[in-house]
Amino acid sequence: MSVLVRTILASAAMSVPFPGMVSAETAVEAQVYMDCRFATECYEAEGCQEAVFAATLVGRASGDEMIDLAAEIEMRSDNGDVMLAGTLSNGALGLYGGAGLGRHMLSVSADGAARYTVHLANGPQAVTYLGRCEAVQ
């Protein structure tokens, strides 16, 4: 998985405890824009079957270092859009979100393998999708 990363260096005019000490902050921001394709759907205990489900991830991740960036991503699909939050770490994404009685979890490994699960309190029921997410250039 390739994520477009832009590093922003900001010199901070901060008071420092010792004369001559230099203080600067480094902020890192990663723009996330990915297409996800899921070819397998697993519903409850019924097993898995072929499926066609697609989503687009749009958002950003930011933090003080390249490790464990806080991510805010909108997942867009024909089933509706959902805001997800989580972590971008070493090229992998771990996201969760949802509203009302539905909860969403998306995991994308650094090589693009993806798992997306929706839990619904009505039922209750769970659906898991297996597929891939790739960065859009």
Domain ranges, ordered by start, for the chain: 4-135
- Residue type at position 123: G
Over the stretch 121-137, which tens digit does the pLDDT of each residue have?
Answer: 998 999 999 999 999 88
Over the stretch 16-72, which tens digit does the pLDDT of each residue have?
Answer: 343 333 334 558 888 999 999 999 999 999 989 999 999 999 999 998 877 789 999
Peptide bond into 124 cis (omega under 30): yes
What whole-number distance in Å separates Cα of residue 99 and Cα of residue 97?
7
On the question of pLDDT at 87 being above 60, the answer is: yes
What whole-number distance in Å separates Cα of residue 84 and Cα of residue 63?
17
On the question of pLDDT at 15 being above 70, the answer is: no
> Are 94 and 107 in contact, with CB atoms under 8 Å apart?
yes
Which residues are paired to 97 by β-bridges? 84, 104
On the question of pLDDT at 103 being above 60, the answer is: yes
What pLDDT does 12 receive?
32
Q: What is the pTM of this model?
A: 0.79
Only one residue has tokens 């209750």, namely 124
